[in-house]
Structure 1
């Protein structure tokens, strides 16, 4: 019979190893399903836009009927299904890329899927002009800027979404690199640093929540190995029932050779401090 909580032991082991549990194939299936639902939403948008877009590049006799779109249901099924599965997709991508990186990647995934669905929906559903560049079949009423803008929306609109998605993906990988650096610094501080008690002196809600966990900015006071009183500011995600408050005791780890380097300082909460120092409380 063990006298150590197995969950705490596993968390200690992950911290020492510097690894996080990787999502399995079932988790990635949820991400793929979420992307598919966003693509369905994009396809539905392409169908719904068939009539209003056609008024920009077709003469009235050539325009499709102004009636309820046949695939209107795709909008509702796609967006509500994607929003529901989005919580799981955010968690999977967050576990794979880190908190901020996962958020950027989830947004990039949704925009890329919508772009793909919109491109395909416009290609399948939009009415092709009988004479490209002209409102009528006889070619007597040439398009202006508005006509070209309407007809080419099937290309530039998905392209714009795809470009934004690519930028977000680059931001996701950048956030991933920063996350790995923070984790490396945290492991070095925990393994090589000195541990002293500290006290929370200030707290502030940032107004941001990730996975229903608010991000809190807090200030901790501690005394280093030379007897110098110091304050360090950190930001972390917390369970709503365990939000830090002024006066809460904490544990502080710092490097003796650089006690003032905030990036090399870790702050831990909880009764079992070694287990409670997690990624969310890494130097930020």
Structure 2
């Protein structure tokens, strides 16, 4: 029993998080934890790849032996069995505290949990590949024959394998930053258009089909019309994703935001199914 409304108390607590030291510390803890879980998964991946590498170096197609590749069998099993569920838990907590710290539930600041985990995997693979994987007993020679190109490729897997994962991690981080930057730019453009443009009612004139209730989202081709400031009717065709609960209906009213100085510019024409002044309701509906 309490004399304080728990719901109100939770609201006050959540409102105190954005930019706070508490949220920053918790976000830092979950950031480090996500990287460490990535390291654990990287150990498992490195052990498996090391086993396959050892088999290839020895010319074996199959074996029941766990070779000495720097990672014991029990750690490989633990890395997979424990690491995978921990990764989901780490991502959920990281995203939660990232949103709380930023105060924005719709975006991640910094990098995503996937990038952090990949960074951990990269670290583990570099250590395992360059330090723990043993050197072959006869370097450059097997069965009295010099290694061919395939065997040299397998041997240097210890370098190019981690390098590929590291490159993928960097590309993921850069790709995410680009997506966020473009999204912020579009948001700024919409906010500017909301302040300086025109918002008028339009009409849905055509849809390709009705969204399936079984699907989370369905891709539709749809057309709407609206009058510009000169009294001309303009038709706009779009291809977007909608849910069965919220989608355009022929004859229904939509609200169209456009630039009266350039009414034919499709990139500056946006539609909302509701009479909203929130720029987010006029963004393109993707997956």
The question of a shared fold, defined as TM-score above 0.5 by the shorter chain, is answered with yes
TM alignment of 1:95-174, pairs within 5 A: 95-96=107-108, 108-123=115-130, 125-135=132-142, 140-174=144-178
Deviations 1:80-128 (A, max 9, x none): 332454456568596136xxx97xx565444433322222333454233
Aligned to 1:80: 85
CA apart distance, 1:157: 0.9
In the superposition, the TM-score normalised over structure 2's length comes to 0.67
Moved more, 42-51 or 238-247: 238-247
Decide whether the 8 Å contact of 2:197 with 2:260 is kept in 1. yes
Paired residue secondary structure (1:55)? helix
Structure 2: distance between partners of 1:168 and 1:150:
26
Moved more, 234-243 or 48-57: 234-243
Decide whether the 8 Å contact of 1:197 with 1:251 is kept in 2. yes
CA RMSD of aligned residues (A): 4.0
Structure 2: distance between partners of 1:152 and 1:258:
58
Decide whether aligned partners of structure 1 residues 167 and 64 sit closer, same or farther in structure 2, where only a CA change above 3 A counts. same
Matched, 1:269 2:281: no
Decide whether the 8 Å contact of 1:57 with 1:151 is kept in 2. yes
Decide whether the 8 Å contact of 2:271 with 2:282 is kept in 1. no
CA apart distance, 1:235: 6.3
Tell me the number of residue pairs that the alignment of Structure 1 and Structure 2 aligns: 247
TM alignment of 1:227-238, pairs within 5 A: 227-233=231-237
Deviations 1:244-279 (A, max 9, x none): 444442211212111111222232233x5124x416
Structure 2: distance between partners of 1:134 and 1:74:
33
- Which consecutive residues of structure 2, in runs of 5 or more, have no partner in the other structure? 1-17, 100-105
Decide whether aligned partners of structure 1 residues 31 and 268 sit closer, same or farther in structure 2, where only a CA change above 3 A counts. farther
TM alignment of 1:44-63, pairs within 5 A: 44-58=44-58
CA apart distance, 1:196: 0.6
Structure 2: distance between partners of 1:204 and 1:243:
11
Moved more, 185-194 or 49-58: 49-58
Paired residue secondary structure (1:57)? helix
Deviations 1:215-250 (A, max 9, x none): 766433211122212233456676764344444422
Decide whether aligned partners of structure 1 residues 53 and 188 sit closer, same or farther in structure 2, where only a CA change above 3 A counts. same
In the superposition, the TM-score normalised over structure 1's length comes to 0.68
**Which among 199, 224, 232 is matched to residue 195 of structure 1?**
199
Decide whether the 8 Å contact of 1:43 with 1:120 is kept in 2. no
Decide whether aligned partners of structure 1 residues 185 and 233 sit closer, same or farther in structure 2, where only a CA change above 3 A counts. farther
Decide whether the 8 Å contact of 1:218 with 1:233 is kept in 2. yes
Deviations 1:183-213 (A, max 9, x none): 12101110011111023344579x9xxxx77
